[in-house]
Amino acid sequence: MCGIVAVIGSREAAPLLLEGLRQLEYRGYDSAGLATVEALAAGPAGSPAEGRLTCLRAEGKLINLTHRYEQHGAPGQCGIGHTRWATHGKPEERNAHPHLDGSGRLAVVQNGIIENFRTLREELQAEGVVFRSDTDTEVIPHLVARQLERIQQGRPASGALLLEAVQQVLPLLHGAYALAVVWAALPGALVVARKAAPLLIGLGEGEFLCASDTPALAGFTRTILPLEDGEVALLTPLGIELYNAAGERQQRTPSLLSGTEHVADKRSFRHFMLKEIHEQPETAALWVARHLPEGGTAGGQAGASLVALPLDEGVYEGVERIQILACGTSRHAAQVGAYLLEQLAGIPTSVFYASEFRYAPPPLSAHTLTIGVTQSGETADTLAALAMEQERRSLVADPAFAPRLLGITNRPESSLGRLVPHILDIGAGIEVGVAATKTFLGQLLAFYGLALAFAERRGGGATGHGPEQLRRLVAALRALPEQLKALVEDHDRRCAELAHLFADTQDVIFLGRGINYPIALEGALKLKEISYIHAEGYPAGEMKHGPIALLDARVPVVSIAVPGLVFDKVLSNAQEAKARDAQLIGVAPEGPDTELFDTLLPVPEVDELISPLLTVIPMQLLSYHIAAHRGLDVDQPRNLAKSVTVE
Ligand code: AGP
């Protein structure tokens, strides 16, 4: 949520800031802004030059800010920028960042939420400060300016002075934030800080670029220094001074961004989302190549087992329960994962909304593995829930309750990667579309790997999934990339042809059962978030207990019906909907059983346990084409952001 950038060096800052913001626009696009500081004249020997601050802001997408920059310019080699996802205050220009102090000489951008901003605002107002926005952020420039006034006492403006003021203000701020501050008096320095929100510094040749996420850094440098929680840094063209929350100087070796996966390119596709749907066969092929070793045998010795995951053996040992924390689409992947972990590996598994878990955690259970699932690795609810679990378990003396945390993510370098000791990297490459598609498939595959790895170590046991069945599942997974390729191409065409039928649709019901119930939920979420059509996912058997009252000829029903445990039941549930005149769309194999559907989106017949990896494709493409047909902004749907870094 919200992206911030900051730059200092010898080049003009504004073009670098705009390019950085372009790469971060997926984090929010309600408004954008930048502030630069231009050196006016060299100061007396030994003192820094005085400068002038230019602040430009525009409501709406980044292009509006770019136009404003083209008209007005923003000179200077030091600056900060922001792309906003509105939390406090409407998405209007006056609430756009940067926010300024009363003198207009100090500017701040912030990503996060200052939870005690009302108290701070009242305190400042009582001192005569006039606020110009409704945001929580605006307290920060006023607080820093007040602190500067208190401590300056005739000292010349310097980076050390600004740093000291910011360090003294940070303890007053409650909540999670990443922020950057520039001061007109200081054209050669800026200060950045973070607490429970991401911020990375990219190291160039005599210049530094800070950003909320790696895509903004990838075109600038591959050498990065992620700020740790609570750290503050003073940046000048000469170097970085890094301090922890206690004010102690820190030294750390920078790391390298790997590969080209941080560069976003739409290729010839109309939208990133469509490109990312089409990349799923590749996501699956990479996963198969990495994790299903040739010649692996169920129950084999290390190196010869069916599944090779980069996890210490200790992750599997003695696990009696699993709890999974996630939000949105990641939570749907977790629900499929829970089904697999219970039915394949026989481990009792619960899935929680991360945002609920933190405030109503279940009683502590012994020998429990906690898995956090987040494609971005930055979802504040998920991170906070994991941190809470880590903390409450660390307080228990009995080692049976000790924290055991595992993360599943597409961004191993994210805050999640720094929070948990074990990571399963889904390796799907950067996903730009706000609607998660290939990362969902990657998360599903991670759960297939984990469930198989547990099942293999437990020899099937109570669930009756012996080595033979595990081998069959692995063989089915190997066939997946080819099946996905054919399916994506076929359904891209079919769904494009179908989309016009939904031109006036207001409600859609998605039905599934068993392992495909979470796919019905995911189908409904995809449709809601990009087409703004109301949609609900239900377990098909639950319809008759109330929701069936919604059905009539105006409400299409998408039913996932794959051969297996509940095939006949799902077909009966679909018949019940048809009897209420609903237009029935089936996601099912072709055959006499599925002739009841008005429209069929055919999927190959596979082991029911594997089917979610295929049934999700028509869900994604149907939503995509409906939204595209309606002419909506598929990649940047209203009110949403790719990375939800506020609780
Ligand atoms: C996915 O299409 C959604 N945009 C959203 O539900 C997302 O899955 C959720 O915010 C969690 O994100 P995460 O995977 O980065 O934690």
Band (pLDDT 50/70/90 cuts) for residue 212 is: very high
Angle between helices 328-343 and 438-458 (to 10 degrees): 20
Asked if 577 and 511 touch (Cβ cutoff 8 Å), the reply is yes
What percentage of the chain has pLDDT greater than the value 70?
95
Helix (H) or strand (E) holding 73: none
Active-site residue identified among 275, 438, 526, 642: 642
Measured by CA distance, the residue closest to atom 7 of ligand 1 is 328
Please choose, from the candidates 538, 547, 553, 532, the residue with its C-alpha nearest in 3D space to the C-alpha of residue 623.
532
pTM tops 0.85: no
For ligand 1, the distance from its centroid to the CA atom of residue 642, given in whole angstroms, is 7
Atom of ligand 1 nearest to the CA of 525: 2
- Distance (Å, whole) CA 46 – CA 145: 23
Give the CA distances from residue 17 to residues 8, 12, 268, in Å, rounded to whole numbers and listed in that order. Answer: 10, 9, 27
Please choose, from the candidates 200, 248, 196, 202, the residue with its C-alpha nearest in 3D space to the C-alpha of residue 221.
202
Q: How many whole angstroms from its chain centre is CA 457?
A: 32
Per-residue model confidence (pLDDT) at position 303: 47
Asked if 442 and 428 touch (Cβ cutoff 8 Å), the reply is yes
Per-residue model confidence (pLDDT) at position 214: 86
> With DSSP H G I counted as helix, E B as strand and the rest as coil, what are the percentages for the chain, rounded to 5?
40, 20, 40
Judge whether residue 198 has pLDDT over 80. yes
For ligand 1, the distance from its centroid to the CA atom of residue 328, given in whole angstroms, is 5
- Is there a catalytic annotation at residue 569? no
For ligand 1, the distance from its centroid to the CA atom of residue 24, given in whole angstroms, is 16
Atom of ligand 1 nearest to the CA of 375: 14
Q: Please state, as a whole number, how many other Cβ atoms lie within 10 Å of the Cβ of residue 401.
A: 17
Pocket test for ligand 1, best of 272, 273, 331, 379 (most atoms within 8 A of CB): 379
- Distance (Å, whole) CA 209 – CA 201: 6
CB of 143 shorter than 6 A to ligand 1: no
- Distance (Å, whole) CA 207 – CA 52: 20
Atom of ligand 1 nearest to the CA of 328: 6
Average pLDDT, the chain: 92
CB of 329 shorter than 6 A to ligand 1: yes
Q: What sections of 104-157 are H helices per DSSP?
A: 117-126, 139-152
Active-site residue identified among 2, 78, 210, 327: 2
Residue predicted with more confidence, 414 or 252: 252
Count the alpha carbons within 13 Å of 532 in the hemisphere toward its beta carbon.
Answer: 14
Query: What domains lie within the chain, and their CATH numbers?
Result: 3-255 (3.60.20.10), 266-478 (3.40.50.10490), 484-647 (3.40.50.10490)
Give the CA distances from residue 439 to residues 333, 353, 425, 599, in Å, rounded to whole numbers and listed in that order. Answer: 10, 18, 10, 28
Atom of ligand 1 nearest to the CA of 526: 2
Q: How many whole angstroms from its chain centre is CA 421?
A: 19
Band (pLDDT 50/70/90 cuts) for residue 47 is: low
CB of 330 shorter than 6 A to ligand 1: yes
- Tokens representing 376 are 């971005």
Measured by CA distance, the residue closest to atom 2 of ligand 1 is 435
Strand partners, 224: 202, 255
Q: Is 626 exposed, middle or buried (0-12, 13-18, 19+ CB in 10 A)?
A: buried
For ligand 1, the distance from its centroid to the CA atom of residue 644, given in whole angstroms, is 8
> 560-574: per-residue pLDDT in tens?
999 998 898 889 888
- Which residue, chain included where needed, has tokens 């063989």? 475
> 334-355: per-residue pLDDT in tens?
999 999 999 999 999 999 999 9
Report the chain's terminal Cα–Cα distance, integer Å: 10
What percentage of the chain has pLDDT greater than the value 90?
75
For ligand 1, the distance from its centroid to the CA atom of residue 232, given in whole angstroms, is 29
Measured by CA distance, the residue closest to atom 16 of ligand 1 is 374
CB of 426 shorter than 6 A to ligand 1: no
Asked if 515 and 609 touch (Cβ cutoff 8 Å), the reply is yes
Per-residue model confidence (pLDDT) at position 49: 62
For ligand 1, the distance from its centroid to the CA atom of residue 382, given in whole angstroms, is 10
Q: Please state, as a whole number, how many other Cβ atoms lie within 10 Å of the Cβ of residue 12.
A: 17
Pocket test for ligand 1, best of 26, 376, 447 (most atoms within 8 A of CB): 376
Per-residue model confidence (pLDDT) at position 460: 64
Atom of ligand 1 nearest to the CA of 642: 4
For ligand 1, the distance from its centroid to the CA atom of residue 326, given in whole angstroms, is 9
Per-residue model confidence (pLDDT) at position 445: 98
- Tokens representing 364 are 């502590």
Please choose, from the candidates 579, 587, 438, the residue with its C-alpha nearest in 3D space to the C-alpha of residue 520.
587
CB of 327 shorter than 6 A to ligand 1: yes
Pocket test for ligand 1, best of 327, 425, 447, 616 (most atoms within 8 A of CB): 327
Per-residue model confidence (pLDDT) at position 159: 95
- Which residue, chain included where needed, has tokens 């299409």? 556
- For 338-343, the CB contacts below 8 A with 24+ separation are 339/514, 339/515, 339/518, 340/447, 340/448, 340/450, 340/451, 340/515, 340/609, 341/447, 341/450, 341/451, 341/454, 342/463, 343/463, 343/465, 343/515, 343/609
Per-residue model confidence (pLDDT) at position 302: 47
- Distance (Å, whole) CA 172 – CA 116: 9
Sheet holding 599-602, edge to edge: 534-539, 507-512, 557-560, 584-588, 599-602
Least confident range of 265-269, 446-450, 545-549: 265-269
- Is there a catalytic annotation at residue 55? no
Measured by CA distance, the residue closest to atom 9 of ligand 1 is 328
- When pLDDT is averaged across residues 44-71 and rounded to a whole number, the result is 86
Pocket test for ligand 1, best of 329, 335, 521, 635 (most atoms within 8 A of CB): 329
Atom of ligand 1 nearest to the CA of 381: 16
> 359-395: per-residue pLDDT in tens?
999 999 999 999 999 999 989 899 999 999 999 999 9
> 272-295: per-residue pLDDT in tens?
999 999 999 999 999 999 999 887
For ligand 1, the distance from its centroid to the CA atom of residue 431, given in whole angstroms, is 11
